[in-house]
């Protein structure tokens, strides 16, 4: 049996050039997310009350964190600013999903955008709080977006938590991630 070798042909691949924005600050620093974390005292009807109810042990936390993060895509495209609340209980950060409410329509991301935002939130939680776990609370009232978010979080390594673990209200789903 004779096996023929294909003739090698030279292939030219055209390269695409990109314009680099000109500014006084280095380009890399323009893409870094900006964060603001504020500790505020709990108030009646905050996300901890809504998710866990009055009788849950997690409701004993005294402060919540108000987190605002802004991430800018390359060349100042796809800028997203998200606000969320979080609380810390037993080395676990409980984060209300920033992708619901006023940010519901922002689940349509550029490729890699959602992943980089979640990775940034994980890094932020780990470095700022020193906790070992993060639980994201997903509101189930909008089934379309909540199912999409649930799949996206699970794709990134989050695990669906059994409702009996934290006894949250039935309108919320919890996904967890260990640092």
SS3 140: coil
Task: Report the domain count for the chain.
Answer: 1
Q: Which residue segment(s) compose the domain that 156 sits in?
A: 27-178
Is 18 a member of any domain? no
Residues found in the chain: 179
Higher-confidence residue of 28 and 110: namely 110
Q: Which residue has the tokens 């294909």?
A: 6
Q: What does DSSP assign to residue 81?
A: E
| CATH at residue 114 | 3.40.630.60
DSSP collapsed to 3 states, 10-72: CCCCCCCCCCCCCCCCCHHHHHCCEEEEEEEECCCCCHHHHHHCCCCHHHHCCEEEEEEEEEC
Tell me the pLDDT tens digit for each residue of 125-158: 888 888 999 999 998 887 767 888 888 899 999 9
User: What's this model's pTM, rounded to 2 decimal places?
Assistant: 0.73
Instruction: Average the pLDDT over 77-82 and give the result.
Output: 65
Is 10 a member of any domain? no
Instruction: Average the pLDDT over 58-76 and give the result.
Output: 74
Is 81 a member of any domain? yes
Q: Please give the pLDDT value at position 25.
A: 42
Is 56 a member of any domain? yes
The side-by-side arrangement of strands in the sheet containing 34-41 is 34-41, 63-71, 80-89, 92-96, 133-139, 172-178, 159-160
Is 11 a member of any domain? no
Is 173 a member of any domain? yes
Is 39 a member of any domain? yes
Supply 41's token pair.
């005292």
């Amino acid at each position: 049996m004779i096996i023929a070798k294909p003739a090698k042909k030279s292939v030219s691949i055209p390269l695409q050039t990109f314009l680099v924005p000109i500014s006084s600050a280095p380009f890399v620093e323009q893409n870094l997310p900006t964060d603001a974390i504020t500790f505020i005292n709990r108030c009646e009807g905050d996300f901890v009350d809504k998710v866990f109810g009055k009788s849950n042990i997690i409701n004993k936390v005294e402060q919540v964190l108000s987190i605002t993060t802004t991430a800018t895509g390359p060349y100042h495209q796809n800028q997203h600013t998200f606000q969320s609340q979080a609380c810390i209980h037993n080395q676990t950060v409980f984060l209300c999903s920033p992708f619901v409410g006023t940010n519901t329509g922002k689940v349509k991301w550029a490729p890699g955008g959602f992943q980089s935002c979640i990775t940034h939130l994980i890094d932020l939680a780990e470095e700022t709080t020193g906790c070992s776990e993060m639980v994201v609370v997903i509101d189930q009232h909008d089934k379309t977006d909540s199912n999409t978010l649930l799949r996206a979080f699970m794709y990134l390594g989050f695990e669906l938590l059994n409702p009996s673990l934290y006894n949250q209200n039935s309108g919320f789903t919890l996904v967890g991630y260990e640092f």
